[in-house]
Structure formats: structure tokens, C-alpha cells
Amino acid sequence: MNSRLQSCSSTIGAGKESFPVPPGRSTGAALDTEVTTVSKSAIIDGLLEAVQGLMAVLNENRQLLAINDSMLQTLGASSLKTVLGLRLGEVVHCIHALCAPGGCGTSEFCPTCGAAIAQVLALSGTCPAEQLCAIEIAGDEDHNNLFFRVRASPLKIGEHRYILLFLQDVSLEQRAAMLEQTFLHDLRNTAMGLSVGSELLADSITGENSQIARDILLLSDRLTREIELQRCLAHSTVNTFKSRLKPLSVDKLFDELERSIRHHPAQADRVVEFAPPQPDHILSSDLTILHRILYNMVINALEASAPGGVVKITAQRNETHETFSIWNAGFIPPEIARRIFQRNFSTKGTLGHGLGTYAIKLFGEKLLGGHVGFTTSTEDGTCFKLDLPV
């Protein structure tokens, strides 16, 4: 929290008597004069026309003097006159807007309101202020919740100060982020419980079932790390993920990869060929990350192949590099190839795609220290490669 926000928070948190913005309002002729001044401003008029999001102009008492069409429609107001002179909480029917005689911004609930804080900061300085704002509104049967990103920018016309208020409804983004956070947290806790239980099981079982218990332990540990890797990818914090380099058998890696894709829908009517690796081909790498990269490469190749197509997987080693190659007969057009590793870029045209090839390059280069690239042509097909230093 910056010093300006700390100062503001301590002031408005001290109680409504010390709220830095007077609870008074402009009324009658004074309000009409402010509305007229704003309506005659070419700058404000241009902004109201140009801004597609929700925008309003407020006076020093935080009352609405003008709003754009987007905000008028969102509020469901019959006309501009019905909202002039009101404050934001009163317009959206915040349940706290009428809790105090001074109205919106003056109740005991308001010192922690993001919209109130942003407006106070804009009035007390010369720089824009941005805050997140949770608003609870009264419904017919129960309360609804809105979540806005609020940006308040100070504006001076003559000797009077105004606020340009911009609102972005991020309710859906907030809901999705909360669900994702809760899901990944609960899933990780479940996986860790499974890992601990399987470790106890592996230590207590002997005989022919001991290997099965060990396999369960390895899979549960992989699951825990896959969840953590996904969390890091979702929050762009992959650099915090710690690689675990261990000796890996390429032959066993291919066996596991084959089992992973065996029942994937993309393999239907397509053939996957694993070239036999060199005898005793061992490399040092992180199984979770390497498997994730190769799995994504293979699925992409299968999805790019026509029914009856073949996907070929090879592993080769020289003195300096381990090279994994995934080939298919398809061709990637230049306009797509140029952006193939760009985050959020996808040819599928719907939300939720655009991380596959991005993650391949990110994991292969940032976490394993290798190089990811590809070649494509109509004659030779497409081949993605992962080069890892020996």
C-alpha cells in the first residue's frame, strides 16, 4: 500500500466525523451551475462520447453531474435527470448508501469502500487513483454482489475540481479467479493427502504388491507437482517452480507417455509411433515437466493430423544435447506459425485456449534450460523439437 493510500485509509477509517470529504451536497442552483459547466466542456463531452466503458463526472461532493450512455443503460435509468446529484452508491443501490444521514460515503461501512477511497485520493491530489470495489446491492429476494475496478482522475475547470470516474465490471473475472483459487487449493490438499497416505502404504507393504504401492506413490507425487505447475502457469509465476532433476529412462518415459495418450480423443483413428530409444538411454531431467511438454506436443500433433495420420516420436542424443522430436504430416501456415508460441493466441476461436504451445516453450526453456522450436513445410510436414543440454 502506497503512502497516499495509507494516509487516506487512516483518515477515513477513523470514523464518519473525520471522513475527509464533507458529507454535504450541492443542491438547487449550485448543482444546476455545476451540471451546466460540465455540459459545456468540450473535453468532457468528447470523453463521454469516446469512452465505451462506464464513465461519470462527479463534483467535489462526489455527486454525479454527467454520465455516458453506457453507464446510463447499465444503471437502467430512465433519463439522465433521475441520477443527477446522486452519488455512486445511491445510483447502484448499494445496501450501505442510506445507512447514514449523509448518504453514500459517510456510513461506518464506507471507509473500506474502494470507490470511496479512489474518489478521496483523486480529490486530495493531482494523480489518478485506482481501487477494486465490492458493492452489495439489494435485490427482490436476496442481495446481489458487484465487483468493479474503479479509476478516479482529478480534473479542474476554472476554480472548481471534478472527478472523472471510470468503472469496469470485473465481477465475472473475480468469480472465476476465486473458483480457480479454491479449486486448485482443495485439489492440492487432496493430492498431498493422497501422497502422504501412499507413502505410508508403500513403507508398510512388502512382497509382490510393494511395487504397486511404489507406483501409486510416484503418481500421487506427480499429481501434486502437476497441480502446482498449473497454478504457477495460471498466475504467471512459473519462475518460482523448482525443478527436480533425476535420472530418467527414456524407454520408461515413452512407456508412460504412451499410456497417457492411449485413450485421448485426439488419438482416435490416428497412429502414434515411438522410435525405440538407444539402449540404456538415461537423461537427467524433471519427469513432471518433461512429460507435460512431450504430452502437449503429441496431443497438438494428433489434433493437427487427419484421420489415419501418423505421429512419430523420437529421442536422440549427442555429446551436448538430448533432442526429442514430434513429427506429423500437417503444415502450419506462416500467419499462424509466427505466433505459435504467443500466450493466449489460438486458432480455436473460443475462450480457454492459447496456453498449450506457450507452456511448451515456457517450461522447456525457463524450467529445463533447453530450447523449443519447430520446422514446417508442405513437403516435410511439421516437427516440434525440444533440445536439452546434457
User: Which of these CATH numbers, 3.90.320.10, 2.40.50.320, 3.30.450.20, 3.90.1150.10, describes 3-169?
Assistant: 3.30.450.20
pLDDT of residue 199: 83
Q: In the structure grid, which three cell numbers stand for residue 22, read together?
A: 464533507
Q: Which helix (H) or strand (E) holds 280?
A: none
* 99, burial (CB in 10 Å: exposed 0-12, middle 13-18, buried 19+): middle
- The grid coordinates of residue 186 equal 482443495
How far apart, in whole angstroms, are the C-alpha atoms of residue 239 and residue 363? 9
pLDDT of residue 155: 92
Residues whose CB is less than 8 angstroms from the CB of residue 266 and which lie 6 or more positions away in sequence, other chains included: 299, 302, 303
Residues 6+ apart with CB under 8 A from 33: none
Distance CA 322, CA 388 (A): 5
SS (H, E, C) 19-68: CCCCCCCCCHHHHHHHHHHHHCCHHHHHHHHHCCCEEEEECCCCCEEEEC
Three-class SS of 211-277:
HHHHHHHHHHHHHHHHHHHHHHHHCCCHHHCCCCCEEEEHHHHHHHHHHHHCCCHHHCCCEEEECCC
H or E segment and range at residue 85: none
Residue with cell 464518519: 16
C-alpha cell at 246: 533425476
**For residue 387, what pLDDT is reported?**
97
What distance in Å separates the CA atoms of residue 34 and residue 37, rounded to the nearest whole number?
Answer: 5
Strand spans (E) along 68-142:
129-138
- The dihedrals phi and psi of 315, each to the nearest 5 degrees, come to -135, 125
pLDDT given at position 270 = 96
CA dihedral in degrees (146, 172, 9, 25; nearest 10)? -30
Q: Can you give the pLDDT at residue 4?
A: 37
Q: What is the distance between the alpha carbons of residues 76 and 79, in angstroms, rounded to a whole number?
A: 9
Q: Are 74 and 189 in contact (CB under 8 A)?
A: no
Q: Specify the pLDDT at position 355.
A: 76
The C-alpha cell of 112 is what?
Answer: 473500506
Q: What is the grid cell recorded at 126?
A: 493531482
| Cβ–Cβ < 8 Å for 291, 253 | yes
User: What's residue 271's pLDDT?
Assistant: 96
Using CA atoms, how far apart are residues 274 and 189, in angstroms rounded to an integer? 36
pLDDT < 50 positions in the chain: 1-19
Q: Which residue matches cell numbers 502457469?
A: 233
pLDDT of residue 278: 86
Residue 6 has a pLDDT of 35
Contact partners, residue 236, CB within 8 Å, separation at least 6:
none
Closest residue by Cα to residue 374 from 337, 335, 344, 321: 337
Name the β-bridge partners of 137: 94, 144
All residues at 6 or more sequence positions from 93 whose CB lies less than 8 Å from its CB, including other chains: 137, 138
Instruction: Report helix angle 28-39 to 42-50, nearest 10.
Output: 70
The H helix count followed by the E strand count for the chain is: 12, 12
Domain 243-390 in the same topology as domain 3-169: no
Identity of the residue numbered 299: I
Domain residue ranges in the chain: 3-169, 171-241, 243-390
Residue 34 confidence (pLDDT): 93
Q: What is the pLDDT of residue 194?
A: 81
Does the domain made of 243-390 have the CATH classification 3.40.980.10? Answer: no
Q: What are phi and psi of 377, to 5 degrees?
A: -160, 160
Q: What's the pLDDT at 66? A: 95
